[in-house]
Structure 1
Amino acid sequence: MKLFAKVLAMGAVGAVLTAFLWTDKFDSGSLKGARVLVTGASTGIGEQMAYHYARFGAQIVITARREHVLQQATEKCASLGAQMVLYIAADMAHPSDPHRVVKFAVDKLGRNKLMELLSLAFVFAGGLDYLVLNHIGSSPFAIWDGDVEHTRWLMQVNFLSYLQMTAAALPSLEHSRGSAIVVSSLLGKMSSPFAGPYAATKFALSGFFGSLRHELSMRNSNVTISMCFLGLIDTQSAMEKIRGYTNMTAHPASEAALHIIKAGATQQWETFYPWTLYPLISTRDMIPFVWDFIIWNIYRY
């Protein structure tokens, strides 16, 4: 345990120095009029991101499966000051929906009523500045029961649809010098019990978008990839899943949403919320046996 204490202390010191020296370069004015597509926006973190973007005066398209909830979120975004807000209902388990959603956003964002009228005489192209990939499929928080088909379905929703949407959005993001913001989880860096299929999709996101970021940089692309890794967030679905399994502290969805937006707007490659995840991640590979022991004692079964 002396080794563990020493390594953890080093990680904690590094994280504290990083937090102390880091300055917030976020300018909320940079998002005024920005064209943003937010997925999984009917509830939880996605809903909170939509409200923050609205307060900053962005043009927003939100998407999720439930149309009636999207309608309510759209009305609230409009009341908060969004320059434009539209919604499109979609199910990311359907292979054609990811492309359909991106096309809708690219076609619609950037337009106004005058341009709609003028479009009778000429074609006006819309565009996209931020693609915020946040949606997830429902997965039980339980010991894996051998259901491979559920994992296959979850990979389509949580992983493959992200790739499909990115592929469809890249030309527009290239033109606008835009960003793809990928909302992931600590479970995309470190496994835990009861979340095998979900963790698999998040590890897949880390591998693919890490590789894509290298490739974009190597060819001097205008597109930035921001990976956002979150700890436990106090969304209703998360709280219901972990009840009875752990007493870990959950963090506010609104704060997590704002952190993600800032990371994308300042073009950070990788960020963690809360900041206390930094020492955990920095020591994970140094002392994996210690973290395994800690994880086994965090959860109850």
Structure 2
Amino acid sequence: MELINDFLNLTAPFFTFFGLCFFLPPFIFFKFLQSIFSTIFCENLNGKVVLITGASSGIGERLAYEYASKGACLALTALRKNRLEEVAEIAREVGSPNVVTVHADVSKPDDCRRIVDETISHFGRLDHLVNNAGITKISMFENFEEITRTRSVMDTNFWGSVYTTRAALPYLRQSNGKIVVMSSSAAWLTAPRMSFYNASKAALLNFFETLRIELGGDVHITIVTPGYTQFELAQGKYFSAEGELVVDQDVRDVSQS
């Protein structure tokens, strides 16, 4: 066994390097052509109905403005009602013809169904569902005194997306719509002190990869895995091991989305 390990230690780096040299250039060229094709034949979002969870700040907020600038109608949901209304007002100014807000907690199944029901009641259809809502808890695993308090991370980051998707799926089938899932590079490039956050994003990645196969071409799925991104949690706000919202001035302006 030791001889095999020594052999692999000598040969594996060599074959890995030349394998990358052989496969990487064609892959980069393919992605370049794919990006050009996507730009030329991009979807016309004018009048499409888009539901975005966690839209009061961060990536969800920026996505709301991006969709609005392309003429999409928006259903925005988050926990912070006042902040959500501010985002909705800016989205209208940017170009969205119709914006509705739903104050809700995606960790609750009933709220997820209500989000979709109110969207359908207002617009009569749903074209895109953007599962973006997420929270984190920052602590070494051994420092969690009450492990059950970490459930909120999985309830929001994973189950919130699952609940909302299940409620929205019949309407997305009707419109041949799209699900956008905000996972994270933390799903495969883990960082210490964020074990439950990393696990929730990995669960999202695997669940929606499976759902992509099950749905076939009826509903399209896009899974986004951004790296370090500047947003609110990165500016000193996070949930502690005790489950409390903490404002830490020592936390710098980068974090995982």
What TM-score, normalized to structure 1?
0.69
Give 2:129's aligned amino acid: L
Q: Which moved further from structure 2: 78-87 or 233-242?
A: 233-242
Tell me the SS of whatever aligns to 1:131.
strand
1:223-262 correspondence runs (5 A): 223-240=219-236
The CA distance in 2 between the partners of 1:16 and 1:44, in whole Å, is: 29
Instruction: Report the 3-state secondary structure (helix = DSSP H, G, I; strand = E; otherwise coil) of the residue aligned with 1:230.
Output: coil
- 2:38 is aligned to 25
Between the aligned partners of 2:231 and 2:18, the Cα distance in structure 1 is 34
Q: Residue 38 of structure 1: SS of its match in structure 2?
A: strand
Separation (CA, whole Å) in 2 of partners of 1:171 and 1:57: 24
- Residue of structure 1 equivalent to 2:134: 136
Q: Matched residues in 2 for 1:209 and 1:184: separation? A: 10
Is the 2:126–2:171 contact (alpha carbons within 8 Å) kept by the matching residues of 1? yes
Count of residues in Structure 1 that have an aligned counterpart in Structure 2: 231
Asked if 1:49 corresponds to 2:46, the answer is no
Give percent identity, aligned residues only: 32
SS at match of 1:33: coil
Alignment map for 1:103-122 (pairs within 5 Å): 103-109=117-123
**C-alpha distance 163-150 of structure 1, shift in aligned 2 (>3 A):** same
2:59 and 2:231 in contact (8 A); partners too: yes
Residues 11 and 246 from structure 1, CA distance in 2 versus in 1: closer, same or farther, beyond 3 angstroms? Answer: farther
1:284 equivalent in structure 2: none
Contact 2:68–2:95 (Cα < 8 Å) also in 1: yes
Q: CA deviation at 1:188?
A: 1.4
Q: 2:110 aligns with which of 83, 89, 96?
A: 96
Q: Which of 93, 97, 102 is the matching residue for 1:83?
A: 97
Contact 1:28 1:56 in 2 (8 A): no
| Residue 72, structure 1, aligned to residue 68, structure 2 | no
Q: Is the 8 A contact 1:36 1:129 kept in 2?
A: yes
Name the CA distance, whole Å, in 2 between partners of 1:213 and 1:136.
21
- Say yes or no: does 1:196 pair with 2:195: yes
Counterpart position of 1:214: 213
Pairs within 5 Å for 1:256-295? none
Counterpart contact for 1:29–1:56, Cα < 8 Å:
no
Over aligned residue pairs, what C-alpha RMSD do you find?
Answer: 2.8
In structure 1, how many angstroms separate the alpha carbons of the residues matched to 2:159 and 2:173? 21
Instruction: State the secondary structure of the residue aligned to 2:129.
Output: strand
Asked if structure 2 preserves the Cα contact closer than 8 Å seen for 1:31 and 1:58, the reply is yes
Shift of 1:238: 2.3
Q: Please list the CA deviations of residues 29-51 of structure 1 after superposition, one character each: whole Å capped at 9, or x if unmatched.
A: 61000000011111011000000
Gaps of 5+ in 1: 110-125, 254-301
Which residue does 1:176 correspond to in 2? Answer: 175
In 2, the alpha carbon distance for the partners of 1:50 and 1:36 equals 9
Contact 2:185 2:226 in 1 (8 A): yes
Matched residues in 2 for 1:214 and 1:101: separation? 26
Counterpart in the other structure of 1:150:
149
The verdict on how the C-alpha distance between 1:7 and 1:151 changes in structure 2, with shifts beyond 3 A counting, is farther
Query: Residues 151 and 8 (structure 1 numbering): CA distance in 2 closer, same or farther, change over 3 Å?
Result: farther
Give yes or no for contact 1:35–1:60 (8 Å, CA) kept in 2.
yes
Equivalent in the alignment of 2:50: 36
Asked whether the equivalents of residues 53 and 76 of structure 2 are also in contact (C-alpha less than 8 Å), the reply is yes
Q: CA deviation at 1:155?
A: 1.0
Q: Which runs of 5+ in 2 are unaligned?
A: 1-8, 238-247
**2:161 corresponding residue in structure 1:** 162
TM-score normalized by the length of structure 2: 0.80
The higher relative CO (CA closer than 8 Å, separation ≥ 6) is in 1
**In the alignment, what sits opposite 1:289?**
none
